[in-house]
Amino acid sequence: MKNLATLGNELYSGKTSIPFIAKRRIWYTVAAIIVIASAALLGTVGLNPGIDFKGGSEVTITGLAAPAEGPANTVLSDQGRSAGSTVTKLGSSSVRVQTTALDKADLDALSSGLASAYGVDAGSVSSTTIGPTWSSDVTNKAARGLLLFFLLIGGLIWIYFRTWKMAVAALLALAHDIIITIGIYALTGFEVTPATIIGVLTILGYSLYDTVVVFDKIRENTASFTAQTRSTYAELANLAVNQTFIRSVNTSIVGVLPVASLLFVGAFIMGAGTLRDIALTLFIGMIAGTLSSIFLATPLLVDLRRREKGVREQAERVEQARRARIDAAGDDEDAVEAILAAPKASPLTPGHHLGHAAQPKRRKKRP
């Protein structure tokens, strides 16, 4: 069995090639099924918005030696507030109670009842009420933040790569990541809080970084692809994904492991609610972002460019050149087999990365 270093070298040189582009219909089908399932969960189960988004009252009891949800549930039941209320343990010494918006008298009565139930003084109980206007403002700002992020990122990719098709492919991959994250949140019933929005913006940046690295390699590989008849645009793009595949996997593992620790240890064992909100979003998004940058972004870009006249004509010339080489080999089966077994695409200069030099040069305006 090949070690990771050997596999990485073979993927980079083109000796071994994973058919990411050739199998794109499979990736599209899997992505479509997941997206449809996530949309169905969103429409049926729905999200569980936190108090910051839906409004309501919150009471927090601190300084508890053994926090438990039972006393709070009993107080809520006695006061007839069980419906629409939630009780959550926070860390190792606090309990949080969230309920529908209460007026001052009712909120004071709830706070007093909770203090008595847990045997603490009034100073250990804090309460607050978030009104519908404030929660609506938070929701609108979160939506505007996501929209602005998409517009700015789309514009920056368009400017950097000088093509709107890369921007569209990258944004479609990002949309895929968001929909999957929303679907899992609907499935698990986790609260959507401002920390969740912060996590979503973080994973979008992570996913975008991975996609830009792949696109940068595609630009390098296809800088002068029309001047040769060895590889098509799709094959050179597939080579770029293979060349960055090991890097993407390693980066994802390095990023996901600490997030998994944060999620399972910090959230579920220690019971830190805010850590759970951020960690779950990062855990889902990092995995989805890595997969979308590998299996969706580049195939989408290839499909967007496939119908271009230059790309189509160059692909036809490549096919003709390959047929000519096979015809020239005649009845020499070994030569024909060697032609068929040769890599479809390989680096123009092995081991050399063009980096910023691959950036298309602006044409000087004539005086």
The pLDDT assigned to 302 comes to: 94
Q: Answer whether residue 240 is part of any domain.
A: yes
Q: Do 122 and 159 belong together in one domain?
A: no
* Alpha carbon distance 167, 35 (integer Å): 20
Report the DSSP pairing between strands 94-99 and 56-61. Answer: antiparallel
* Alpha carbon distance 288, 297 (integer Å): 12
Q: Do 116 and 207 belong together in one domain?
A: no
The pLDDT assigned to 304 comes to: 93
Q: Do 22 and 121 belong together in one domain?
A: no
Q: Do 282 and 144 belong together in one domain?
A: yes
**Among 262, 285, 310, residue at a domain's last position:** 310
Q: Answer whether residue 288 is part of any domain.
A: yes
Q: Do 41 and 140 belong together in one domain?
A: yes
**pLDDT mean values, one per 10 residues, the chain (367 residues):** 70 81 93 92 84 81 82 85 78 80 84 85 83 70 80 84 89 89 85 80 81 89 84 90 87 84 66 66 85 91 91 87 74 62 59 50 59
Q: Do 113 and 71 belong together in one domain?
A: yes
As given in the structure block, the two tokens for residue 115 are 């203090």
User: Which residue type sits at 10?
Assistant: E
As given in the structure block, the two tokens for residue 129 are 């009420």
Q: Do 177 and 216 belong together in one domain?
A: yes
Strand order in the sheet with 125-130: 86-90, 94-99, 56-61, 125-130
**For residue 336, with 0-12 CB atoms within 10 Å meaning exposed, 13-18 middle and 19 or more buried, which class applies?**
middle
Q: Answer whether residue 172 is part of any domain.
A: yes
CATH code at position 201:
1.20.1640.10
**Among 310, 335, 351, residue at a domain's last position:** 310
Q: Do 39 and 74 belong together in one domain?
A: no
The pLDDT assigned to 300 comes to: 94
Q: Locate tokens 């972004």: which residue?
A: 297
Residue closest to 314 by CA, chosen among 235, 238, 239: 235
The pLDDT assigned to 349 comes to: 54
Give φ, ψ of 60 to 5 degrees.
-120, 130
Q: Answer whether residue 316 is part of any domain.
A: no
Q: Do 154 and 275 belong together in one domain?
A: yes
CATH code at position 69:
3.30.70.260
Q: What is the pTM of this model?
A: 0.76
> HSE of 29 in the Cβ direction (CA atoms, 13 Å)?
4
Q: Answer whether residue 30 is part of any domain.
A: yes
Q: Locate tokens 């044409």: which residue?
A: 363
Rounded to the nearest 10 degrees, the angle between the axes of helix 298-305 and helix 194-221 is 50
Residue closest to 218 by CA, chosen among 206, 232, 236, 205: 236
Q: What are the Cα distances from residue 208, in Å, to 83, 149, 194, 219? A: 41, 11, 21, 16
Q: Locate tokens 């045997």: which residue?
A: 119
Number of domains in the chain: 2
Q: Do 143 and 251 belong together in one domain?
A: yes
Residue closest to 88 by CA, chosen among 69, 74, 101: 69
- Please name the residues in contact with 244: beta carbons below 8 A apart, sequence gap of 6 or more: 213, 214, 217
Q: Which residues pair with 88 in a beta bridge?
A: 96
- 3-state SS string over the chain? CCCHHHHHHHHHHCCCCCCCCCCHHHHHHHHHHHHHHHHHHHHHCCCEECHHHHCEEEEEECCCCCCCCHHHHHHHHHCCCCCCCEEEEECCCEEEEEECCCCHHHHHHHHHHHHHHHCCCHHHEEEEEECHHHHHHHHHHHHHHHHHHHHHHHHHHHHHHCCHHHHHHHHHHHHHHHHHHHHHHHHHCCEECHHHHHHHHHHHHHHHHHHHHHHHHHHHHCCCHHHCCCCCHHHHHHHHHHHHHHHHHHHHHHHHHHHHHHHHHHHHHCCCHHHHHHHHHHHHHHHHHHHHHHHHHHHHHHHHHCCCHHHHHHHHHHHHHHHHHHHHHCCCHHHHHHHHHCCCCCCCCCCCCCHHHHCCCCCCCCC
Range of the domain at 246: 11-47+134-310
Q: Answer whether residue 19 is part of any domain.
A: yes
* Alpha carbon distance 263, 19 (integer Å): 34
Q: Answer whether residue 168 is part of any domain.
A: yes
The pLDDT assigned to 273 comes to: 56
- Please name the residues in contact with 83: beta carbons below 8 A apart, sequence gap of 6 or more: none
Q: Do 61 and 149 belong together in one domain?
A: no
Q: Answer whether residue 322 is part of any domain.
A: no
**Among 95, 129, 163, residue at a domain's last position:** 129
Are 89 and 68 in contact by the 8 Å Cβ rule? The answer is yes
Q: Do 121 and 227 belong together in one domain?
A: no
